[in-house]
Amino acid sequence: MTNEIDHHVGKRIRRRRRLLGLTQQQLAQSVGIRFQQVQKYESGANRVSASRLFEIAEALDVPVQYFYEGLSGRGESAIPEGDHIAADILSQKETLDLIRAYYRLNERPRRRLLELARSLDPDSKSDAA
C-alpha cells in the first residue's frame, strides 16, 4: 500500500522529468523499466524502491533528497502557508514552457520581465509605499 509520501515522491519525479523535457518512455529507458511503471510511480500507485529511486535520481540529475523536499517529519508539507504554490501548477506544460523561455533569456531581459510580471500583479505590494 502506498501513502502520502509515495504520492509526494511520484509528483516530484513527474515535475523533474517534465522540467527536463523528458517523456515517460525516455525516463523508463534510462533506468531499464517500462513506461507504464514510470506512470505508476508518478501517480503514487506503486511505491519506488530505494535502488530504483537512486537510478531515477541519477537519470534526472538530482540527489535522492530532491524527492523528499517539501516534506516534514510526518509526511506533511513543510512549505510555509504564504509561500505554498498549488502542487499542480509546476506540472502544467504552460508553466514549464514559461520557465524554459525565461531561462533562455540573458540576465537583464529576465530582470525586466520579472519586474513587468510583478507590476501586473494587482496584489503585489509596491516598494515605494
* pLDDT computed for residue 80 by the predictor: 42
* pLDDT computed for residue 125 by the predictor: 62
Name all domains of the chain by residue range, CATH numbers in brackets.
1-78 (1.10.260.40), 93-120 (no CATH)
Helix axes of 4-19 and 35-43: crossing angle, nearest 10 degrees: 120
* pLDDT computed for residue 96 by the predictor: 81
Residue of higher predicted confidence among 89 and 22: 22
Burial of 113 (0-12, 13-18, 19+ CB in 10 A): middle
Report whether 45 contacts 34 (CB < 8 A).
Answer: no
Q: What share of the chain has pLDDT > 70, as a percent?
A: 81
* pLDDT computed for residue 99 by the predictor: 85
For 30-84, the pLDDT digits (tens) are 999 999 999 999 999 999 999 999 999 999 999 999 999 988 765 454 444 444 4
* pLDDT computed for residue 79 by the predictor: 47
* pLDDT computed for residue 98 by the predictor: 87
